Amino acid sequence: MRIILLGAPGAGKGTQAQFLMNKYGIPQISTGDMLRSAIKEGSELGLAAKQVMDAGQLVSDDIIIGLVKERIAKDDCSKGFLLDGFPRTIPQANAMKDNGVVVDHVIEFDVPDDVIVERMSGRRVHPASGRVYHIKYNPPKVTGKDDETGEELVIRADDIEATVRKRLAIYHEQTELLVGYYRKAAEAGETQYHYVDGTKPVDEISASLVKLLG
C-alpha cells in the first residue's frame, strides 16, 4: 500500500489521507514533518538540511529523497505509506525511481480551480478553538461570528483568494506534469493510476478509494 496523492491544494487530499491512514494502518509522510524530525534528531541528513535552511535556501532533492528513503525504512511503514505533497516535480519523481522507491498506487484528485477557490476562500476560522466554518457549506449562525463564543472569525492567509490562485498556478506549472508522468508509468506497468472526481461528497470518495485499492 505505497500511495502517492496528487492534486491541487484544496482538492481534498488531506481529508482522504486521514481516512486511508486509519483504514489501512499506514503513516502519512509529509516532507515538512520529516525535515523537522530529522533536524531535531540531528541525523546527518537533518544537519545537512538545517545548514541549507539556515542559509535561506531550498533543501535539494537529494536530501529530501535521502530523508524519504530513511523514513520509509522505519517499522511503521512495513504495511506501506502515504506520500502527500511529494514528489512535486518530475526530477523528484525520477530521483525516487532511481533510488528504488516503489509506488503501488497514484491517486489523482481532480477539482476545477473555481471550485477550489470557492472552497478555500469561503473558509472562516475561530483562531482560539480552531473551529472552521464555510460561508456557503457550513455557515456560522451569525455571519462572521463563532457559534459558541460569538468572537470574530478570521480568514487564514492561505485562504485569501489571491493566495489560493497563486498556489494553483504553481501547481499547474510544476506538479500537474506528474499526472502525465505517472499515467505513463502505469501504462508501463510500474504503478497503478487512479482518477478521482474530487467534487463528489467526502464519503463517496472514501468508498470509491476502498474499491480502487481493494
Residues annotated as part of the active site? 13, 88, 123, 156, 167
Contacts of 208-213 with CB under 8 Å at 24 or more apart are 209/16, 209/19, 209/20, 209/107, 210/23, 212/105, 212/107, 213/1, 213/3, 213/20, 213/24, 213/105
Q: Which three cell numbers stand for residue 70?
A: 530513511
3-state helix, strand, coil in the chain (%, to 5): 50, 15, 35
Question: How many other C-beta atoms can be found within 10 angstroms of the C-beta atom of residue 36?
Answer: 13
Give me the numbers of helices (H) and strands (E) for the chain, helices first please.
9, 7
Pair type for strands 131-134 and 123-126: antiparallel
Secondary structure class of 120 (helix, strand, coil) = helix
Q: Which three cell numbers stand for residue 116?
A: 477550489
Q: What distance in Å separates the CA atoms of residue 136 and residue 58, rounded to the nearest whole number?
A: 38
Q: Which three cell numbers stand for residue 7?
A: 492534486
